[in-house]
A and B are shown apart, each in its own frame.
Chain A
Amino acid sequence: MTATAETSARTRGHGVRAEGVTKRYGRSLVVDDVHLDLPLGGVTALIGPNGAGKSTLLSIVGRLLGADAGRVSVAGLDVATTRGDELAKRLAVLRQDNHLDIRLTVRDLVTFGRYPHSKGRPTAEDLEHVERALAYLDLTELADRFLDQLSGGQRQRAFVAMVLCQDTDVILLDEPLNNLDLRHAVAMMGRLRDAARELGRTVVVVVHDLNVASCYADTIVAMRDGKVAACGTPAEIMRPDLLEEIYGLPVRVHELDGQLIATYYG
């Protein structure tokens, strides 16, 4: 972290801070007293088995879901009490399964990302942001296509472009690699890492591929049964004993070309 980024992190507070966050669905405890402190700037990967509470935690941090207990602040703002339109300029969140009943072009959708800034009247500067986001995610040629004419992966990229276009300090993405082919998955993670390193964004992604987390994240948060099981740098988390405990599956970790790669196939 550079000196300037460090001071700005201190003056603007933490990227994401969760204190005692708890969420129940009926009797089952989905998120159990989670404490989390992520500095401003950097990519954090949320990993863990199905049902570990990753998406729920992400939704709570992104104020799409209310917590039963605990507090969440993002970029120094309490998500429960800050006005929604103020928060939207600092925090962007994208859930999985984005289905729309309305017919929109890719450009229409991405332009919505500027709504917190322009309130629906995009300026020339806003439109520049839109074109940049489109180019960033390799969507320029598809910009005038309707979303229902696209493949799942293309649609996924359009939604991510909308969220990036929002130009926020903190970006939360739930499985952004869903439906993406190898090339676009690698490109997407590269883009997110660039946004974190060059623009000082705090990016939190839920990913299922351990090796994506290992190679692209600065911090890995491993969850299990609604709790944070481990949190640390890839080198700290990519350990066979720890991963086996989290996933309940023997995992081997190899160092290949300077990267820690996990293998777990029978």
Chain B
Amino acid sequence: MLRETAPAETRPGRRLTPRARLGIAAVLAVAVVAGFLLADTHGYASFVVPLRVRRLVALVLVGWAIAMSTVLFQTVTGNRILTPALMGFDALYVLLQTVVVFVFSASLLTGTDTRVQFLVETLLMVGFALTLFRRLFASGRYELHVLILVGMVFATLFRSIAGLLQRLIDPSEFQILQNLMFASFTTVDEDLVWLTAAVVAVVSVLVIRRLRVYDVLALGAGPATNLGVDHRRETTRVLTLVAVLVSVSTALVGPVTFFGLLVAHLAYHLAGTHRHAVVLPLAGLSAVICLVGGQFVLERLLEVTTTLSVVIELIGGLTFIALLIHRARRNLA
């Protein structure tokens, strides 16, 4: 799906305005959404469609959250290889979920609303993410390979601690956690859909109000400061928003490592401009097209139940390797 649409859009797209490109992406997104909702209803549309809506909304939310968090993260860190997932944000969220189950025991949790649990975990996530990552990024000066290493160490550390705690807890409680460990787009946590939709909407509004500031931030700490943007404060703000967005996507489907990288780079290539007013929505729409379209193709056309995450992570992982090789070559040249 993705592979077919992307080049077709770029080639005649040389002369398309960024707005037109956004329009094409929007039309495609609407088409896959319609396909996802309306295909194979076998005349029971009034029954089937409402059932699919919640899952659709969840997929759209996840795609939008991952795309937005990745692009914003890459803007403030001034690189296009690292993503929140690669820096261990997702792993941190899973760890926090595990700790919450471990400390408060599942029996207590089954009584509480998953929505309350989500809010608590998101708050914790923002606190921890800021403590751990702010010092790293607020200086605006760092070596990329050091950050990659830090990310690997953080992610492994978080996963190991989570793994240890999961072995220590009661097997029945472990059941609750098990769904959290692997990304699955087929079993989304539907209780959370409307709450997370509200959260993502609020974050999106905050982002839209600062699109032009993000354009300046992408120039790096020095030039941004020169132009009157408070780099440290904006970085903290963005890291906060990223932490919230990662909480949303991880709570809904679980950790997804390479998807953000994939859609962010699709957007960079297709946008034809550096402006976040185009890049961000384009990344979000690409994510929706990939997720909803991918799910649609897998379920309805190929009729396989392989999880979409496997396919997406494969393509995303290949993109990551390609980017690293490209960069290494450029540095050698």
B230 interface residue, CB < 8 Å from A?
yes
Q: Scan residues 208-244 of chain B and give those whose CB is less than 8 A from a CB of chain A.
A: 211-213, 215-216, 218-223, 225-230
Does A84 lie within 8 Å of B212, measured CB to CB?
no
The distance in angstroms between the C-alpha atoms of A101 and B218, with both chains bound, is 8
The distance in angstroms between the C-alpha atoms of A166 and B225, with both chains bound, is 13
- Count chain A CB atoms within 10 A of each CB in B79, B218, B225 and give the residue with the most: B225
B78 interface residue, CB < 8 Å from A?
yes
Residues of chain B lying within 8 A (CB to CB) of residue A163: 226
Does B80 lie within 8 Å of A88, measured CB to CB?
no
The distance in angstroms between the C-alpha atoms of A262 and B126, with both chains bound, is 59
B14 interface residue, CB < 8 Å from A?
no
Residues of chain A lying within 8 A (CB to CB) of residue B222: 64, 93, 95, 98
B274 interface residue, CB < 8 Å from A?
yes
Residues of chain B lying within 8 A (CB to CB) of residue A102: 80, 218-219, 274
Does B225 lie within 8 Å of A63, measured CB to CB?
yes
A139 interface residue, CB < 8 Å from B?
no
The distance in angstroms between the C-alpha atoms of A121 and B213, with both chains bound, is 11
- A263 to chain B minimum Cβ distance, whole angstroms, is 35
The distance in angstroms between the C-alpha atoms of A181 and B219, with both chains bound, is 26
Partner of A101, one of B79, B215, B226, B228: B79
Residues of chain B lying within 8 A (CB to CB) of residue A100: 219-220
- Count chain A CB atoms within 10 A of each CB in B80, B213, B219 and give the residue with the most: B219
Does B228 lie within 8 Å of A88, measured CB to CB?
yes
Does B227 lie within 8 Å of A88, measured CB to CB?
yes
The distance in angstroms between the C-alpha atoms of A101 and B223, with both chains bound, is 13
Mask of B66-98 contacts with A, CB within 8 angstroms, 1/0 = 000000000000111000000000000000000
Does A116 lie within 8 Å of B80, measured CB to CB?
no
Q: Scan residues 249-280 of chain B and give those whose CB is less than 8 A from a CB of chain A.
A: 268, 274
CB within 8 Å for A87 and B228 given contacts A112-B219, A115-B216? yes
Does B216 lie within 8 Å of A120, measured CB to CB?
yes
Does B219 lie within 8 Å of A84, measured CB to CB?
no
Does A103 lie within 8 Å of B274, measured CB to CB?
yes
The distance in angstroms between the C-alpha atoms of A99 and B223, with both chains bound, is 10
Residues of chain B lying within 8 A (CB to CB) of residue A98: 220, 222-223
A188 interface residue, CB < 8 Å from B?
no
- Count chain A CB atoms within 10 A of each CB in B216, B227, B229, B268 and give the residue with the most: B227
The distance in angstroms between the C-alpha atoms of A241 and B219, with both chains bound, is 44
Residues of chain A lying within 8 A (CB to CB) of residue B80: 101-102
A41 interface residue, CB < 8 Å from B?
no
A108 interface residue, CB < 8 Å from B?
yes
The distance in angstroms between the C-alpha atoms of A155 and B146, with both chains bound, is 28
Residues of chain A lying within 8 A (CB to CB) of residue B229: 84-85, 115
Does A64 lie within 8 Å of B225, measured CB to CB?
yes
Does A112 lie within 8 Å of B225, measured CB to CB?
no
Residues of chain A lying within 8 A (CB to CB) of residue B211: 120
A215 interface residue, CB < 8 Å from B?
no
A183 interface residue, CB < 8 Å from B?
no
The distance in angstroms between the C-alpha atoms of A163 and B216, with both chains bound, is 14
The distance in angstroms between the C-alpha atoms of A98 and B221, with both chains bound, is 11
The distance in angstroms between the C-alpha atoms of A87 and B216, with both chains bound, is 16
Residues of chain B lying within 8 A (CB to CB) of residue A119: 212
Q: What would 14 A/B residue contacts be, using CB atoms closer than 8 Å?
A: A63-B225, A83-B228, A84-B229, A86-B228, A88-B226, A93-B226, A98-B222, A98-B223, A100-B220, A101-B79, A108-B274, A120-B215, A162-B223, A166-B227
The 9 lowest CB-CB distance pairs between A and B, nearest first, are A88-B228, A120-B212, A85-B228, A115-B227, A116-B228, A84-B228, A102-B274, A95-B222, A93-B226
